[in-house]
């Protein structure tokens, strides 16, 4: 397998296609208990290469691991800006509506791109995963787990345990605050609370094993209730305006509101399909 090129700072993504039967969440050896002694580990040298592994859903049974090189990042703003960019670049395309709107700028017609999604990132889980290097790199995500004590002592991983959460990982509300609003955070305050691989990239062929274990953060999506409510409201308003206009032009009040009712029914069925598809 060839080793991907890396940019500083930057990220690389490796796709996966796993089936429900290949899920590793039920295997006990992938569930790592948190050791309270891990919070006392010595911080790595500032010149040590550091990598953050992100598990991102790209389909019902498809995932990618996006590796972010944060060796030369000095602030939370730099890291979380890169995390947000990597997530948006690799996330699943289903349920995302992209619209390009032309607008004049200095007498030149440019296009502004807007995205609307029915899902949003809302949860983070510390994960242990296996990188299958037998053919093309594939990722099988396991159960919850932070790097064990032996990985910390051998300086393969580094992280600081967050005592205010049950699993020891960074509080989700703080993670997504930085995710959506990174610019004011000009210090490295929350970066230590994320598990980071030290030394070499997870994609470097430094071990003979076909299955290579790693630890990272899994960004989990849920339905965006605000967006669903907005679509519902706009559909109701639009169908009402259309029904009134149809009745005024054709003088057929019953037919107009029948069309409006049909439009509302189609919207309800569509939203129900979106909801069941994300359960």
Distance CA 55, CA 139 (A): 9
pLDDT at 196: 92
* Same domain assignment for residues 162 and 238: no
pLDDT at 184: 87
Residues 64/139, Cβ–Cβ less than 8 Å: yes
Please choose, from the candidates 52, 61, 66, 57, the residue with its C-alpha nearest in 3D space to the C-alpha of residue 24. 61
pTM above 0.85, yes or no: no
pLDDT at 96: 66
Among residues 208, 223, 238, the one where a domain terminates is: 223
* Same domain assignment for residues 249 and 209: no
Q: Where are the alpha helices (DSSP H) in the chain?
A: 76-90, 149-153, 172-180, 225-250, 253-277
Burial of 238 (0-12, 13-18, 19+ CB in 10 A): middle
Residues 99/87, Cβ–Cβ less than 8 Å: no
**Owning domain of residue 267:** 225-277
pLDDT at 28: 34
Residues 83/239, Cβ–Cβ less than 8 Å: no
Among residues 223, 248, 267, the one where a domain terminates is: 223
Distance CA 131, CA 35 (A): 25
Instruction: For the chain, 279 residues long, give each residue's pLDDT as a single digit of tens.
Output: 444 443 434 555 555 444 444 444 433 333 333 333 333 344 555 568 999 999 888 777 777 788 999 999 999 999 999 999 999 888 866 556 666 667 676 667 777 666 677 788 888 888 888 877 665 556 677 777 888 888 888 899 998 887 777 666 788 889 999 999 998 888 988 998 899 999 988 888 666 566 778 899 999 888 888 888 888 888 888 888 888 888 888 888 888 888 888 888 887 787 777 665 555
Q: In Å, what is the CA distance from 154 to each residue of 35, 41, 44, 179?
A: 15, 11, 11, 30
* Same domain assignment for residues 114 and 245: no
* Same domain assignment for residues 233 and 126: no
Q: How many domains does the chain have?
A: 2
């Amino acid at each position: 397998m060839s080793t991907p090129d890396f940019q500083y700072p930057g990220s690389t993504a490796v796709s996966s296609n796993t089936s429900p039967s290949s899920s590793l969440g039920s295997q006990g050896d992938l569930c790592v208990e948190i050791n309270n002694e891990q919070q006392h580990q010595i911080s790595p040298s500032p010149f040590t290469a550091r990598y953050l592994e992100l598990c991102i859903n790209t389909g019902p049974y498809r995932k990618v691991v996006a590796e972010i090189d944060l060796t030369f990042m000095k602030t939370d703003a730099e890291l979380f800006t890169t995390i947000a960019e990597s997530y948006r670049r690799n996330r699943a395309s289903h349920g995302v509506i992209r619209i390009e709107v032309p607008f004049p700028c200095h007498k030149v017609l440019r296009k502004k791109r807007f995205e609307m999604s029915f899902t949003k990132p809302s949860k983070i889980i510390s994960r242990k995963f296996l990188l299958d290097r037998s053919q093309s790199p594939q990722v099988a995500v396991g159960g919850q787990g932070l790097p064990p004590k032996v990985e910390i002592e051998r300086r393969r991983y580094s992280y600081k345990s967050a005592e205010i959460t049950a699993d020891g990982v960074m509080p989700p509300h703080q993670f997504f605050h930085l995710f959506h609003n990174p610019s004011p955070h000009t210090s490295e305050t929350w970066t230590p609370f994320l598990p980071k691989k030290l030394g070499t990239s997870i994609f470097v062929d430094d071990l003979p094993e076909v299955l290579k274990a790693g630890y990272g953060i899994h960004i989990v999506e849920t339905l965006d209730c605000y967006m669903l409510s907005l679509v519902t409201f706009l559909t109701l308003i639009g169908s009402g305006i259309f029904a009134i206009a149809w009745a005024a032009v054709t003088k057929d009040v019953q037919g107009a509101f029948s069309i409006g009712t049909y439009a509302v029914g189609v919207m309800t069925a569509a939203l129900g399909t979106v909801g069941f598809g994300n359960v």
